[in-house]
Amino acid sequence: MTAITNPWTTRSRTADDPVDVRYGPLVARRDDEGMRRFRRYGLGQFIHFGLYSIPGNEWNGVSASEGAAAPEWIRAWRGPSAPEDWAGTYDRLNEVFDPTGLDAGEWARQAKRMGARYVIFTTKHHDGFALWPSAHSDYTVAQSPCGRDLVGEVVDAYTAEGIDVFLYFSVLDWHHPGYTTSVPADDAGRAGWQDFLDYTRAQLLELLERYPAARGLWFDGTWDASWVASYEFTHRLEQELRARRPGLIIGSRFRNDEHGARHFDSNGRLLGDYEQGWERKLPADHAMLDGHDWDGVMTIGPNAWGYMRHTGDQYQKTADDLIDLLMRCRSMGGNLVVNFGPDGDGRMTPYEGEIAEQLGAWVAANAEAVYDGGHVDLDPTGMGWLTGDDERVFLTVVNRPVTGIARLRVPADASRVPVSARLLASGQGLELRRTDIGFDLDAATYCDIAIPSDFVSTRAFVIELTLGDAVDPAAERIDAYM
């Protein structure tokens, strides 16, 4: 029996000795229009916005960084730095929640300029506060001075910009009295949990009913033993959600099998339409994905999804970091989703706003490499990331070689090889030649692209290689000149 474990996504499977699984996948790999769009999203935006955006990781000038996991977790602030009756204070933030600066149209236009093709918006985070006037809860925008349907505003504004919307929904709920982390052990606990399951189902159906334009549900907070033990319920509910909205996209974080295996069932089969475990981490290589669709969600700071008033000395990713991560994801066929945490008034922070513009300028100049290119079967290169299709290969150069030569290793038996090269952003042609570097018994040939010494780049740049039929390398070697 071979146990294969992926430490990133709790994936574990037994290859030779299948386990009996009744609550496994409900869908096989999809190739409908929705999933084809998903594969070409390239770049997404995550928005974490809610009551936690008001404190922004501090209260009365005291930082929660010593007592809470992340700004959006501030309700769980513990330890000596936590204010007295903090949870009670937090729970009443709905009484002052009124983000008058929130202009979903402005967010959507900024996301469009950034090049995002989908947005994931927090309809309800762990605190249980719903950003739509849910009929199934008394803890929503309707019970706040805001009174607006923020989910509806976001869905409409992003849809109008041609950006697909995925609704983030936390199952874990600190507000619902029936919620429990462990499996309920007595009748009262079981009745409360059943109430909670009914409420969860009702809210999800309500979201689908209210927002027909939403393309997917992005689940979170599904790790507690209580939810894991509710596999019959979640299996039924996934069927119901898919029946209500044909084409709906649901990632692998929603449910588990009867043995508690999450993301992948006990036989290693994906539990959803795409792999949804890549959070603040990325696959080591393309092979470990086994051909599954996936996205990677990423914070700009170290681990802050919600707004942080003071980021202090915490490293904030730069546009260069994000370009690197974006193309790394694309080289493995995935999407990068960059998180934004607007402030309590609903405004994007200046730093994140600037990042969006800088990233957007790069994406616009190199759009074909970002959106059109998927994984290509060439050796990875330390210079950067390879994307492409049958006709082209894009090399995103992050580490510019001091030799002035970008060298790619191409299998000697490849039928299609690079025949011309140019800088994607400007169209400037580049010299390309096949080079015999003299390695004995080498199963590869080498394709050298000259990067002009007077070409100045302050960011990563993309070399586009056009593929053509391979010709006899010996004949080509005679002509090689540079």
Q: Among residues 48 and 392, whose Cβ is nearest to ligand FHN?
A: 48
- 70 lies in the binding site for ligand FHN (CB under 6 A): yes
Contact 184, 138 (CB under 8 A): no
Q: Please tell me the distance from the alpha carbon of residue 351 to that of residue 420, in angstroms, as a whole number.
A: 39
Window of 31-39, 66-74, 207-215, 381-389 that interacts with ligand FHN by CB under 6 A: 66-74
Nearest approach, Cβ of residue 245 and ligand FHN (Å): 22
Task: Name the minimum Å distance from CB 46 to ligand FHN.
Answer: 7
φ/ψ bin of 215: left (φ > 0), alpha (ψ from -120 to 50), beta (otherwise): alpha
Shortest reach from residue 190's CB to ligand FHN, in Å: 26
Q: Which of 130, 297, 308, 348 binds ligand FHN (CB under 6 A)?
A: 297
Q: Is residue 72 a contact point for ligand FHN (CB under 6 A)? A: yes
Separation CA 262–CA 257 (nearest Å):
7
Residue 275 binds ligand FHN (CB under 6 A): no
Q: 166 is written with which tokens?
A: 């995925």
Taking the complex as a whole, the smallest distance from the CB of residue 129 to ligand FHN amounts, in Å, to: 14
Count of all residues that appear for the chain in the document: 482
Q: How far is the CB of 56 from ligand FHN (least distance, A)?
A: 14
User: For the packed helices 231-244 and 187-210, what is the interaxial angle rounded to 10 degrees?
Assistant: 20
State how far the Cα of 442 lies from the Cα of 457, in Å rounded to an integer. Answer: 33
| Nearest residue to 330 (alpha-carbon basis) of 367, 299, 369, 291 | 369
Q: Are 5 and 11 in contact (CB under 8 A)?
A: yes
Closest to ligand FHN by CB, 344 vs 384, is 344
Q: Is 119 in the site for ligand FHN (CB under 6 A)?
A: no
Measured between alpha carbons, how far is 308 from 67 in angstroms, rounded to an integer? 14
Instruction: Please give the backbone phi and psi of residue 338, each rounded to the nearest 5 degrees, phi first.
Output: -95, 130
- Tell the residue number behind the tokens 């319920």, with chain if given: 233
Q: Which is nearer to ligand FHN, 297 or 359 (CB)?
A: 297
Report the residue closest to ligand FHN, judged by CB: 305
Spatial contact of 24 and 257, defined as CB atoms under 8 Å apart: yes
Q: Least distance in Å: CB of 173 to ligand FHN?
A: 12
Q: How many residues bind ligand FHN (CB under 6 A)?
A: 7
Q: What is the 3-state secondary structure (H, E, C) of 160-201?
A: HCCCEEEEEEECCCCCCCCCCCCCCCCHHHHHHHHHHHHHHH
Nearer to ligand FHN among residue 73 and residue 199 (C-beta):
73
Residues 341-370 that bind ligand FHN (CB under 6 A): none
| Minimum separation from the CB atom of position 90 to ligand FHN (A) | 15
Strand ranges inside 365-412, DSSP E: 384-388, 392-397, 405-411
161 sits near ligand FHN (criterion: CB under 6 A) = no
One character per residue 234-273, x = contact with ligand FHN (rule: CB under 6 A):
----------------------------------------
**Residue of 279, 295, 352, 448 interacting with ligand FHN (CB under 6 A):** 279
Q: Which positions ≥6 away from 123 have C-beta within 8 Å?
A: 130, 131, 132, 151, 167, 168, 169, 207
> Is residue 217 within the footprint of ligand FHN (CB under 6 A)?
no
CB of 126 to ligand FHN, least distance (A): 6
| Residue 221 DSSP SS3 | coil
DSSP 8-state class, residue 348: P
**Closest approach of Cβ 305 to ligand FHN, in Å?**
4
Closer CB to ligand FHN, residue 74 or residue 157?
74
In terms of CB distance, is 279 or 343 closer to ligand FHN?
Answer: 279
Task: Tell me which of 173, 220, 238, 464 binds ligand FHN, using CB under 6 A.
Answer: 220
For ligand FHN, the binding residues (CB under 6 A) are: 70, 72-73, 220, 279, 297, 305
